[in-house]
Amino acid sequence: MTGSSRVDGPARRPSSKREARREQLIEAALASIRRDGPGVSMQAIAAKAGVSKPILYRHFGDRGGLVAELAARFTQQLMARLRHALSQNTEPRLVLSATMNAYIEAIEEDPDVYRFLVHRALGDDQRAGQRLLDLMEQISREVAVALGEQLRAAGSDSGAAEPWAFGIVGLVHAAGNWWLTTRTMPRERLVEYLVRLTWDGMATSGLAAVPPVEGPQRIVTPLPMMGESDAAG
């Protein structure tokens, strides 16, 4: 790993005092979630930030607004990590493994923030539910592009790429949720089981014979998705 994979604020300097204050509130929210778990209250977040709840609402509107901000950052950083894995110039099976590992590693490294977002989506928050569906669709479509390229390179029917992609992403999402709760095996073993399940079917379409694209090989290394300087604190 190249670093911690925890949700963090943007690297750019805030352009105003209000934006700087907003960043401080977001950092306080993240710290509160990691300390108190996904069921943390807005009161606890406000207390961590040293402000009243009305001030917190003034910046985000309501709890849903704060969730939306955290979800946007989670999505942006997760997608960067998945794109890195999908773009590896290596055998298709290794690309599949690296991409699955990138997703599960991300939720493993910041589990309470992930649960905070997913629990909202699975509850009665329709906006959070739609954001989760949008994220799954975004991941699936990018996986479909990569699969389509591999199938065409193998001279196979690329029509399977889209349904396969949506199925794989749903599988990994569900298995990741289960594993995050049970932890009955190492992450690496979970990834290998999922790769075996999916690869055995896809390899029959000729993907096993697809060589890497010509050019220098790139080592599959995880990108830091959510690193923060005070992770140890």
Whether residue 15 has pLDDT greater than 70: no
For the stretch 175-189, pLDDT in tens is 999 999 999 999 999
Instruction: Residue 200: count other Cβ atoms within 10 Å of its Cβ.
Output: 10
Q: Which class does domain 15-61 fall in?
A: mainly alpha
| Mean pLDDT confidence for 92-96 | 90
In the chain, CATH 1.10.10.60 sits at 15-61
Residue 226's pLDDT is what?
A: 45
In the chain, CATH 1.10.357.10 sits at 70-206
Domain over 70-206 is classified CATH 1.10.357.10: yes
For the stretch 106-150, pLDDT in tens is 999 999 999 988 877 666 577 778 888 888 999 999 999 999 998
